[in-house]
Amino acid sequence: MQELIRQLLAGLGEDPRREGLLDTPKRVEKAYQFLTSGYKANIDQVLNNALFTVDYSEMVIVKDIDFYSLCEHHLLPFFGKCHVAYIPSTKVIGLSKIPRMVDVFARRLQVQERLTNQIADTIRDKISPLGVAVVMEATHLCMAMRGVEKQNSFCVTSAMHGGFRDSARTRMEFLELIKLRSPIPGLREPTSAGLACVGDD
Ligand SMILES: [Zn+2]
């Protein structure tokens, strides 16, 4: 990877042997390994021993989870807040594990819609709740920094299953609690492409 970064620097018109850049390939490799460490993480290990049987069926909400990910189209960051809710049927997930799970999926090359779905699907698969909702709001540097479609550099995506999809009241209760900066486009549809970076250019 370090040799590739040296080539990249040269391709940009830089001199990779310049003093300030000498250790850059090493640093970039280390940074990318961390930012994509989700590929090596095993979600079952992350959730290990943190699924509990309960007699509780009120909505569980974990909101304002900070996340940082990389857009797979441009390898530039997108980052923001993730809000997760579910209604347990028989099991809950230890609360600290939800941000960990978000990290596992965020630390990969992603598009925001898939990231949102992966978090929701994992909760659905692991504890079969009566409903699960995930909303992510993020700024995409690939759009904000390049000045293209600046109005779309802030994107909101959602994935809703079970009670959150079927019941407007449940959905509203959740949305009221997380108080989004902007409305969710096409909320009742599966998250639609075109909201976040779609790699057009
Ligand atoms: Zn992008």
| pLDDT digits 0-9 by tens, 124-141 | 999 999 999 999 999 999
Q: Which of 2, 14, 74, 173 is catalytic?
A: 74
Known catalytic membership, residue 74: yes
**Based on the domain organization, do 135 and 169 belong to the same domain?**
yes
**Based on the domain organization, do 125 and 70 belong to the same domain?**
yes
Model pLDDT, residue 38: 97
Give, as residue ranges, everything with CB less than 5 Å from ion ligand 1. Answer: 71, 73-74, 142, 197
Q: What is the CATH number of the domain that holds 140?
A: 3.30.1130.10
pLDDT of residue 191 exceeding 50, the answer is: no
**Based on the domain organization, do 51 and 133 belong to the same domain?**
yes
| Distance between Cα 6 and ligand 1 center (Å) | 23
Count of domains forming the chain? 2
| Residue 146 banded pLDDT, cuts 50, 70, 90 | confident
C-alpha–C-alpha distance, residues 171 and 161, integer Å: 10
C-alpha–C-alpha distance, residues 131 and 140, integer Å: 29
**Based on the domain organization, do 21 and 49 belong to the same domain?**
no
Known catalytic membership, residue 140: yes
| Residue 158 banded pLDDT, cuts 50, 70, 90 | very high
- Give the tens place of pLDDT for each residue, 66-111: 999 999 999 999 999 999 999 999 999 999 999 999 999 999 999 9
pTM of the model: 0.88
- Give the tens place of pLDDT for each residue, 23-62: 999 999 999 999 999 999 999 999 988 899 988 889 999 9
What residues make up the domain containing 16? Answer: 2-35
Model pLDDT, residue 54: 87
> Where is 78: in which H helix or E strand?
strand 77-87
Model pLDDT, residue 93: 94
Known catalytic membership, residue 197: no
Contact 161, 152 (CB under 8 A): no
Contact 112, 79 (CB under 8 A): no
**Based on the domain organization, do 91 and 8 belong to the same domain?**
no
Average pLDDT score over residue span 146-168: 86
**Based on the domain organization, do 17 and 58 belong to the same domain?**
no
**Based on the domain organization, do 27 and 46 belong to the same domain?**
no
**Based on the domain organization, do 7 and 50 belong to the same domain?**
no
pLDDT of residue 189 exceeding 60, the answer is: no
Task: Collect all residues with Cβ–Cβ distance below 8 Å to 106 and sequence separation of at least 6.
Answer: 38, 67, 68, 69, 115
